[in-house]
Structure 1
């Protein structure tokens, strides 16, 4: 009664009343989400927690506080549905870009064995419990897979923050994640047939769905090689960042729409769009351009999931939810740890791999939402999955850090002391991910070529960043590490691992680009050695004051010309 009275009073305030009349629900909710996400994220950063958990909290606070109604946002659910759909599409597009066929070729044995074993054990346990509770077998299968999937977004980021992104535990986690990604795509295809949305024989419908999906992916791959890659090459030659970004978004939207039009879901279409460009030379450039959009829509997606959490049901089933979260965490940790030891990993990497994959993942949320649209699940089960996911993601960073003291304690008490040989496929490969103490060469003109050749002859690892597509293609063909990117973008420098580099050389004479890039480099690596070129004395002085070792083109040319002139006259004399 009092709540209704307060609500009526607030609605009479002119500003709020005007807002209810003139501001669309989508814009009002978006503003509220973004502002609250900023404040909650600042708190979590100080507590060293995952920001994804903060986005869940934002959704819970907004959904259960009545704030949207105070602002005149009545149609909250429709706005949330739009957020979630956009978030899923971009999430799947990013997954497609990050899905590396080259990594799969290298890790396929580990993915098939480790991922298959992890998913089978976890899904069997979760599905058996669901079957014991009286759920149909097809729902048990979906529930089993939902609980088997892990949060690769949180786990791989935690590996990076701990400096273990190229460790054996990270490689095993990546292999299992690759298997889970493939499984999710397959399940998206067969979900309508499995849950009875299609009429006819289930086995026949599943076979048809898988055939359609495979044909779509093959068609998308052919389109990428013979249609989209030449288009990207032509756009890249214009060197227009706006046109390149517009082209990428247009391609992803077009392929995603094609997937939806063929009744294969927008999610599969978005994944196919990302996969099309994942193996091209433009992959890293696309990642730098798409990252801001990805972060925004991922925020909206996780907030939209938080909006679906009902506090009343959480309180009512608090015991079951907490028990389920603890059980999922322990079972998944022990499963991955056991697989790692079976594959002869040392103790610490095995503990890290187990801790990193012990929660339910973001694709579990996507999957349960899609399944719930086809056949509604029990509300308490959906709430349990949502809360388990949020709590599990919050526990991952801390649990991975805790593996250090746990490893020391186990070693001290004589556990797992046997020496183990790392199986083939888990040792780091020579790639950008494994670079350290390397030189970054920005630009591959005559100066860049000479510097690269000299450093390679000295055995110094090098990575080249260039905006010339033909040059990048040739360097990649010759087996050199190269990125198609712009050094004035912080994302490109992050992909080049500038934080771990010893030196960076700006071999082009563009003063403006160098002046923009230097602060970005120093922000990530204050101790790095920077070399730059300058045409004029004023430019050389400014770059020197910024911390670069400057090669003054005019001065060097003058010295060279003086030397040549002296030589000419000495020969005459």
Structure 2
């Protein structure tokens, strides 16, 4: 059995894990880490990984899934609303930037077809990096987000066309070129219409039936099959596999399942796309890069300045906001993933020399690596280059503070999921002001369509909490799923405000004391409150007086849900939770005739101190004893305790044998 592919993948993935961890620490894009891994493992450096058709195929699948994800963002209604930006501004940008770069490349001595390909590739920007930055900065709904995404949408369409065009340009005669191009366009049009009809009339019903099954595996596999099947169809028609992925995404783009599909497909896309970037990095000739580093830096600066100038000029003609126009130019000045894909495809057809490929790849990679920093400091660039103040993003503390400067005596909701939204709706009903903050970009994007006081941000940041009016708020409600994050948010609030009441919602009681120690005024375990609600209904149906029910439930709350702590282990109950921490279980230990603890009191045995468990009660003849601590233990007594699996075993050994 040949394990060469497994060995290569293992080396690539181990190297990628290390590189991504380092780049994450340095706050650099993961894309660059994959490219560096490719450079280090490829022939340019260590020559650890040889060229492999299997790895190349997996890498191509990464491009398929990338385009599939991009296709999910398309809907005809959305494109129609942005038609002036997409087809007007986006089309002019690709045309002018492509022609300008092609002219420069032609002047530098490249043949006209190759110059046009390079112009087309470098005219496109990095959809992955720019869209991620827009989302993280909550700028998608602002004019800058609308313009930038509109241009990126057209670039994505153009990229698919360019991926089709390169194999055609590899032909020999002019006649063959136009005949082949016409054939490709005809087949692409037929395929597009067919797939969109399938996406409109068949796939929504299919995913509706799959969703009713409630099988995550089936849902993910269906999405994978659709993407790969579409890629296979286009490949069998001698078209680009990436085109198939794009069309498959568009088929599902009209469906309300697209967010779930995109979420489920993301791990496969990112891993396989990482392989694609590794394969691209392996093509980079490090020695040629070192020989021509000055030329590469100059060309990178030229590319950034040229594209930023053209896009700014076009955006200024489209909009009357100079700051937004300049910012759009800065955001889209880089080369993108599709240029890397185009260069890889060009190299397959031997249309560029190694030196030319190395220079173009290096320029693209450097421009992409500079993009997060350009976007981060875009305000500085705009202040230097424009007299108008840069448009402010809502993710920044000063922008949030400006939007909420008139809001006082409000409730600050940290986490706007199911519970947070429910609280917000009830506050709206009572005409009580509130402000919500969440770090889920899709959720914030959807909420902002109808609600004005929902902001994107990390609630653990004290500056964002202060910007959200923490010092003017009446109450803070924390509704996040991760208890560690809830603890950090509570600590951040207490750094700024020691007096404001804080209510924390949790799923269970695993961090109840920790949250109280962090400064939470009240901790509401959701599972306990739902249990109390059921208990209340049960007692009402049994005819228990309402006053008695209220007293009993209030007593449970005052005792911090002590009665409800722990649960008995079942056949399918895991002894660890989703975070790998041991679960707390209830466990009853019946004392046999030869138990070493007989005649002793539980206070003397000291299970709590020696084993770390919690004693709930002592049962004798099915009766709970009140003063159980000082009762001598008798045969057949049942001691009910709670703790994790290891603690329960220690306590049982101590009661039965005298040794823990």
Deviation at 1:251, TM superposition (A): 1.4
Residues 410 and 316 of structure 1: CA distance in aligned 2, closer, same or farther (over 3 Å): closer
1:349-380 deviations in Å (ceiling 9; x for gaps): 33432222111100111122223334522322
The answer to whether the Cα contact below 8 Å between 1:58 and 1:306 also exists between their aligned partners in 2 is yes
The answer to whether the Cα contact below 8 Å between 1:504 and 1:531 also exists between their aligned partners in 2 is yes
Asked whether 1:225 is paired with 2:200, we answer yes
SS in 1 for 2:202: helix
SS in 1 for 2:139: coil
The answer to whether the Cα contact below 8 Å between 2:324 and 2:390 also exists between their aligned partners in 1 is no
CA RMSD of aligned residues (A): 3.9
Match of 1:442 among 393, 399, 418: 418
Counterpart of 1:492? none
Instruction: For 1:237 and 1:149, locate their aligned partners in 2 and report how far apart those are by CA, in whole Å.
Output: 41
SS in 1 for 2:82: helix
The answer to whether the Cα contact below 8 Å between 2:44 and 2:287 also exists between their aligned partners in 1 is no
Residues 67 and 458 of structure 1: CA distance in aligned 2, closer, same or farther (over 3 Å): farther
SS in 2 for 1:76: coil
Counterpart of 1:214? 189
SS in 1 for 2:189: helix
Counterpart of 1:553? 530
Counterpart of 1:48? 27
Asked whether 1:257 is paired with 2:236, we answer no
Residues 103 and 462 of structure 1: CA distance in aligned 2, closer, same or farther (over 3 Å): farther
Match of 2:121 among 135, 140, 146: 146
Instruction: For 1:438 and 1:276, locate their aligned partners in 2 and report how far apart those are by CA, in whole Å.
Output: 36
The answer to whether the Cα contact below 8 Å between 1:29 and 1:79 also exists between their aligned partners in 2 is no
Instruction: For 1:525 and 1:298, locate their aligned partners in 2 and report how far apart those are by CA, in whole Å.
Output: 35
Counterpart of 1:160? 135
The answer to whether the Cα contact below 8 Å between 1:255 and 1:272 also exists between their aligned partners in 2 is yes
Deviation at 1:166, TM superposition (A): 3.4
Match of 2:216 among 217, 236, 241: 241
Counterpart of 1:301? 276
Deviation at 1:217, TM superposition (A): 1.2
Counterpart of 1:267? 242
Residues 34 and 553 of structure 1: CA distance in aligned 2, closer, same or farther (over 3 Å): closer
Deviation at 1:148, TM superposition (A): 0.4
1:193-221 deviations in Å (ceiling 9; x for gaps): 34427884533432332121011011111
SS in 2 for 1:549: strand
Counterpart of 2:10? 31
Q: What aligned pairs does 1:326-341 form with structure 2 within 5 A after superposition?
A: 326-341=301-316
Counterpart of 1:172? 147
Counterpart of 1:94? 69
Asked whether 1:62 is paired with 2:41, we answer yes
> Which is higher, the Rg of structure 1 or of structure 2?
2
1:409-432 deviations in Å (ceiling 9; x for gaps): 456xxx34799xxxxxxxxxxxxx
SS in 2 for 1:376: coil
Deviation at 1:174, TM superposition (A): 0.7
Q: What aligned pairs does 1:535-546 form with structure 2 within 5 A after superposition?
A: 541-542=509-510
Instruction: For 1:550 and 1:319, locate their aligned partners in 2 and report how far apart those are by CA, in whole Å.
Output: 61
Deviation at 1:145, TM superposition (A): 0.6
Instruction: For 1:405 and 1:345, locate their aligned partners in 2 and report how far apart those are by CA, in whole Å.
Output: 21
Residues 545 and 254 of structure 1: CA distance in aligned 2, closer, same or farther (over 3 Å): farther
Asked whether 1:285 is paired with 2:264, we answer no
Question: How many residues are paired up?
Answer: 478
Residues 453 and 41 of structure 1: CA distance in aligned 2, closer, same or farther (over 3 Å): closer
Comparing 112-121 and 373-382, the one that deviates more: 373-382
Residues 200 and 409 of structure 1: CA distance in aligned 2, closer, same or farther (over 3 Å): closer
Comparing 556-565 and 402-411, the one that deviates more: 556-565
1:207-248 deviations in Å (ceiling 9; x for gaps): 332121011011111222333222222211111111111111
TM-score normalised by structure 1 residue count: 0.73
Asked whether 1:386 is paired with 2:365, we answer no
The answer to whether the Cα contact below 8 Å between 1:131 and 1:140 also exists between their aligned partners in 2 is yes
The answer to whether the Cα contact below 8 Å between 1:321 and 1:388 also exists between their aligned partners in 2 is yes
1:172-201 deviations in Å (ceiling 9; x for gaps): 111110111111122333433344278845
Instruction: For 1:342 and 1:353, locate their aligned partners in 2 and report how far apart those are by CA, in whole Å.
Output: 12
Residues 62 and 456 of structure 1: CA distance in aligned 2, closer, same or farther (over 3 Å): same
Residues 545 and 184 of structure 1: CA distance in aligned 2, closer, same or farther (over 3 Å): same
SS in 1 for 2:319: coil
Instruction: For 1:215 and 1:173, locate their aligned partners in 2 and report how far apart those are by CA, in whole Å.
Output: 30
1:257-284 deviations in Å (ceiling 9; x for gaps): 0111111221111111111112212111
Instruction: For 2:503 and 2:170, locate their aligned partners in 1 and report how far apart those are by CA, in whole Å.
Output: 59
Residues 176 and 549 of structure 1: CA distance in aligned 2, closer, same or farther (over 3 Å): same
Counterpart of 2:407? none
The answer to whether the Cα contact below 8 Å between 1:25 and 1:76 also exists between their aligned partners in 2 is no
Instruction: For 2:383 and 2:422, locate their aligned partners in 1 and report how far apart those are by CA, in whole Å.
Output: 49
Deviation at 1:88, TM superposition (A): 1.8
The answer to whether the Cα contact below 8 Å between 1:462 and 1:481 also exists between their aligned partners in 2 is no
Instruction: For 2:199 and 2:312, locate their aligned partners in 1 and report how far apart those are by CA, in whole Å.
Output: 39
Q: What aligned pairs does 1:490-529 form with structure 2 within 5 A after superposition?
A: 499=458, 517-519=481-483, 522=486
Counterpart of 2:644? none
Residues 38 and 554 of structure 1: CA distance in aligned 2, closer, same or farther (over 3 Å): closer
1:469-528 deviations in Å (ceiling 9; x for gaps): xxxxxxxxxxx969xxxxxxxxxxxxx96857986879xxxxxxxxxx444874997679
Counterpart of 1:427? none
Counterpart of 2:292? 317
Question: Whose RCO is larger (CA < 8 A, sep 6+)?
Answer: 1
Deviation at 1:146, TM superposition (A): 0.9
Deviation at 1:156, TM superposition (A): 2.0
